[in-house]
Amino acid sequence: MGGMPNTVYLTAAFYKFVDLPDYAARKAPLLEFCESRQVKGMILLAEEGINSTIAGRPEDVHAVLAYLRADPLLADLQHKESFSEKAPFYRMKVRLKKEIVTLQVPGISPTKMAGIYVKPQDWNALISDPDVVVVDTRNNYEVELGTFKGAIDPRIKSFAELPAWVAQSGLTGSPDKKPKVAMFCTGGIRCEKSTAYMREQGFEEVYHLEGGILKYLETIPQDQSLWQGECFVFDERVSVGHGLAPGPHTLCRSCRHPLQAGATESPLFEAGVSCPRCHAHTSDEQKANARERQRQWELAKQRQQVHIGATLAKPQST
């Protein structure tokens, strides 16, 4: 993935909830295969499945996908593609985790208990039903950019805060009458887990948007859409709109959250170091380190060189 001119990089995002009791033994051969094809990014492995975003030359990324699908447990692995002229990632990591998306509730199994999938073309009718409670399961900084009309925003800072919100939300109602609940997230992974959690809590009719917001924006024409605003994505595009067209947002390179309107005019904003959202949460030492990283990045940019520390590989949290 060197600096060859006109190189096109394919980014593939994928996940699957599947029982992988031998997940730890998969790490070394998988890392070796990715490195042999010069594919970069992050793959998370856990007993509950796999979650990843990787990038490289298209033929190399497809080789990694074929390697994974050669295993009968992963034969039906679905992935989403996007292309860029810049290398999104500069390292390849395979990490072993307790969960591929962190909810911190033991015993939740999306492979056995996930909610009912709803295709994008059927989603509008479902969320327009007055008897259905629509819940956005994403983090507050994601919801700020856009959400579905009428959806509840739990105002959570991380997915692991969702169970506490459910407990105090009043959704649980009376023991004999729990409402119908529809949940959505960026690409589907968080909803598979959140709907499994809701079913474990005794909710019988729980639905989730198949393929997430991204599949909806790709599938549903804007004039028929109930989506309002932009959708935050965990890659170099930052946000996308209908038809998955890249949006106008930029990231704070310190906290990796989208910059709010007027953020760059704030005295708390410093490029690569802080923004109004994160300024109070980092120490002087962390700011000094970030300042040095930004300086090195700007020097590398001036020299037209790729700086290794400029972008950190991060798995999708969809």
Q: What is the distance between the alpha carbons of residues 24 and 59, in angstroms, rounded to a whole number?
A: 27
172, 216, 226, 161: which is closest to 194 by C-alpha?
161
Phi first, then psi, for residue 258 (nearest 5°) are -65, 140
315, 311, 299: which is closest to 1 by C-alpha?
311
Q: Is 93:312 a contact under the CB 8 Å cutoff?
A: no
Instruction: Check residue 76 and report its DSSP letter.
Output: T
Judge whether 191 counts as a catalytic residue: no
CA distances from 117 to 109, 132, 299 (A): 16, 15, 49
Phi first, then psi, for residue 29 (nearest 5°) are -65, -35
Residue 206's Cβ-count burial label (10 Å; 0-12, 13-18, 19+) is buried
Of 185, 191, 231, 275, catalytic: 185
What 3-state DSSP class applies to 189? Answer: helix
Buried-state track 115-148, b at ≥16 Cβ within 10 A, e below 16: beebebeebbeebeeeebbbbbbbbebbbbbbbb
92-96 and 132-136 strand pairing: unpaired
220, 163, 125, 244: which is closest to 134 by C-alpha?
125
Residues involved in catalysis: 185
